[in-house]
Amino acid sequence: MKEKALDRRSFLKVGSLVGGGLLLNFSWLSAKAVKNEVTGQNEFLEFNAFVKITPDNVIQIMSPNPEGGQNVKTSMPMIVADELDADWSQVVVQQADLDTKHYTRQFIGGSQAIRQGWTVLRTAGATARQMLKEAAAQKWQVPVSEVTTEKGMLMHSKSGKKATYGEMATAASALPVLQDVKLKDRSDFHIIGTPVKNVEGKNIVTGKPLFGIDTIKEGMKIAMIVHPPAFGLKLKSYDVASVKKLKGIIDVFDIKVFNEDYERTFFDTTTFNEVVAIVGEDTWSVMKAKKALKVSWEPFESHSYNRNMFGRKSSVTVPAGLESTSESMAQMTGLVSKPANVKRQDGDVEKAFENASKIVEAKYSAPFLAHNCMEPMNFFADVREDKIEMIGPLQKPELTEQALSARLGVPLEKIDFKMTRLGGGYGRRSYAHWAIEAALISQKVKAPVKLVYSREDDMTAGVYRSTYYAKYQAALDSNNNLIGFKVNMGGNPESPIHENRFPAGAVSNYLAEDWEIPSNITTGSFRAPRSNFNAAAEQSFLDEVAEAAGKDPIDFRLDLLEKAKSNPVGQRNDYDADRFAGVLKLLKEKTKSSQLKYPGVSAYFCHNTYAAMVVDMEIQDGSPVVNKVICAMDCGLIINPDGAKNLAEGGIVDALGNALFGKLTFNNGATDQQNFDQYRMIRMNEAPKAIEVYFVENDFEPTGMGEPTFPPVFAAVANSLYRATGKRFYHQPFMSQLS
């Protein structure tokens, strides 16, 4: 990469110096090009994905989505650059700001960025390339069909003429914008499918200010919040005098995140709607004041709020009370053995179990989990009469901007969101109540403010992964064929069930039931939501059923998938049995020559991607040692092999840590864990000694990579531990069963 970066302001300066240039913008939804005229002030319209080319041959490609380590800031521009036929070494990548007028789905979530942006990004590059070819053809007086491109050069082989893209940029900008351009054949890709280093790699390792927490502005104040110490409590009173006179303290006041009559949308989740804000000149002064502030709390009554989940409106009731993990676990243990809400039923399940020669049964549980992003929650806000400037890490900035607009009663046009790199997310930064808190604090003190959560703030007032419980039952006939399957599962407060996923469709008699426990503990998206438990329980159970049937665990799954392919049961099966079998076959091939001691198998489909896993572990001096992990994936076409492998490896290590150690418990509404001395995270020496990642080669369009490697790891760990210890592991975290 060129050792320079052009922010929007510096790019405009370049444009005003050299004049001319080409700018193409593309609607995320229509994938149609829209030309912008370069005005005397060099003001540009900005759409979701666009190409800028200056006469001195600077090629700038915008990356529209937030970057949180999933590498989209590299892979999305790679797609544009390939269709543009650019020389990657001449490309400057720039993070786009939030623009709710012209951008859509500027999200991190659902592992959908590449999948949903694939055609649009390709069209952006292809349209720019074709317009450059048209300009060259006109200047050289040759047929456009004779003009070729290669690595940022335009060429006409018959005359020997050639030019850089920059030399034709001004002429191209005067042409009518082309529609419905032809995209490349995949065989012509020269950037897509090749290993490309992260465009931010050098900045990351050299400590450049990329993250929201790095934001420093002139006149900026520091703010922190004080929230109730337990779920089920609300603010009663606080003594301003106890801290207001402390050195460095500017103000102390309470704020309400959302108004009572506000209709909350999908990600307008807030742990505590009313908190106390402390504002000061520096972090240390505010931290001391936070500890000194005298606050009284009281139990809240059961209450409701209105919610609009992408058009599905409902009233959400928040129950009163101070919950404890031991009580909710006892309640869940009873619920899995009672009839529940039927989500799917195929065949005659009860008859199948009555006629069974063998029945296998197991129960599984998983605790609440905290996200624990390495970068604490933070946001910069400068709320003025004429403009609101917001800077920080968000997964859903467009939706947060809409919520802020509603809360402050100002039009979207007055709000400017700048996206910074996320120091961790996977759901936690989808629920950005702290951004609204920062804006309300800035509005109150009439100054720019950076709000920062402490680690204790985030762990004790987080948005957690729900706690779950499940009961599985399988019926085998005298020939050890699986003839019946039951699953009853639920959670506090949500059910994790995916009733139409494997092995649904592969068993003639199948029953899926679920239930939920109302709770005032705030939960939400956590890497591969719901799938992370569903896969853990289901794939652990299938391993036990395979053993009861006397079959190899991979072959057992392949047999079921063959039935789902040749004679599927039901019409609502979410997966492609052939592609699912493909990752298991690849996994089997790659494990043949590996010297594995205690291989644990697992496979799962989620976020449009198939992942199969073998984890090989053993116990040494009472501690688990992961010798090797072998992963096979089908995520369609690979954009960047290095980035894809890195993302798979990260998901594997993340899942290993959560499977072995992750656990958050509550006592009378308060978390028992408040910081890393109590909440166990995986450590460097506990990472696998080796990870091998393989991809199925096919012609499918690319799908998700950020989440699909995460869910199958849990069961692979449990199944490997079983082979190493002779004991089944049903309850997470698994270290609690080893100690």
Q: For residue range 542-558, list pLDDT tens digits in order.
A: 999 999 999 999 999 99
Q: For residue range 392-418, list pLDDT tens digits in order.
A: 999 988 889 999 999 999 999 999 999
> What is the reported pLDDT for 20?
45
Contact yes or no for 435/404 (Cβ under 8 A) = yes
Taking the C-alpha atoms of residue 31 and residue 29, their distance in angstroms, rounded to an integer, is 6
Q: For residue range 312-351, list pLDDT tens digits in order.
A: 888 889 999 999 999 999 999 999 999 999 999 999 999 9
Nearest to 346 by CA among 460, 497, 506: 506
How far apart, in Å, are the Cα atoms of 674 and each of 244, 456, 461, 462, 719?
A: 27, 5, 10, 11, 31
Query: Does pLDDT of 97 surpass 90?
Result: no
> What is the reported pLDDT for 265?
86
Report the percentage of the chain scoring pLDDT > 70.
92
How far apart, in Å, are the Cα atoms of 106 and each of 84, 210, 225, 395, 719?
A: 22, 18, 28, 8, 38
Taking the C-alpha atoms of residue 522 and residue 467, their distance in angstroms, rounded to an integer, is 11
Domains of the chain, earliest start first: 8-205 (3.30.365.10), 212-304+377-452 (3.30.365.10), 336-369+464-738 (3.30.365.10)
Taking the C-alpha atoms of residue 116 and residue 580, their distance in angstroms, rounded to an integer, is 22
Mean pLDDT, rounded, for 560-581: 96
> What is the reported pLDDT for 604?
98
Query: Does pLDDT of 513 surpass 90?
Result: yes
Contact yes or no for 532/714 (Cβ under 8 A) = yes
Q: For residue range 17-52, list pLDDT tens digits in order.
A: 334 444 454 444 344 444 443 322 232 222 224 688
Q: For residue range 440-473, list pLDDT tens digits in order.
A: 999 999 999 999 999 999 999 999 999 999 999 9
Nearest to 384 by CA among 214, 219, 258, 216: 219
Q: What is the 3-state secondary structure (H, E, C) of 192-236?
A: CCCCCCCCCHHHHHCCCCCEHHHCCCCCCEEEEEECCCCCCEEEE
Where b means 16+ CB within 10 Å and e means fewer, 454-490 reads: bbebbbbbbbbbbbbbbbbbbbbeeebebbbbbbbbb
The pTM (predicted TM-score) of the whole model is: 0.91
The more confidently predicted of residues 173 and 32 is: 173
Confidence class for position 100, pLDDT limits 50, 70, 90: low
Nearest to 468 by CA among 544, 405, 520, 532: 532
Question: Which amino acid, one-letter code, is at 85?
Answer: D
Contact yes or no for 287/278 (Cβ under 8 A) = no
The more confidently predicted of residues 402 and 616 is: 616
Where b means 16+ CB within 10 Å and e means fewer, 42-65 reads: bebebbbbbbbbbbebbbbbbbbb
CA–centroid distance for 445 within its chain = 34
Helix, strand, coil content of the chain in percent (nearest 5): 30, 25, 40
List the single range of 13-17, 72-76, 230-234, 332-336 with lowest mean pLDDT: 13-17
Report the percentage of the chain scoring pLDDT > 90.
77
Sign of CA dihedral 7, 10, 13, 14: negative
Taking the C-alpha atoms of residue 549 and residue 320, their distance in angstroms, rounded to an integer, is 47
Give the single-character DSSP code of 158: T
Nearest to 349 by CA among 510, 513, 542: 510
Confidence class for position 101, pLDDT limits 50, 70, 90: low
Radius of gyration of the chain (CA): 28
Q: For residue range 366-388, list pLDDT tens digits in order.
A: 999 999 999 999 999 999 999 99
Confidence class for position 106, pLDDT limits 50, 70, 90: low
730 φ, ψ (degrees, to nearest 5): -105, -20
Question: Exposed, middle or buried: residue 143 (CB in 10 Å: 0-12, 13-18, 19+)?
Answer: exposed
> What is the reported pLDDT for 83?
96
Nearest to 655 by CA among 729, 718, 586, 725: 718
| The two three-digit tokens of residue 514, written as one number | 């679920």
734 φ, ψ (degrees, to nearest 5): -70, -20
Mean pLDDT across the chain, nearest whole number? Answer: 90
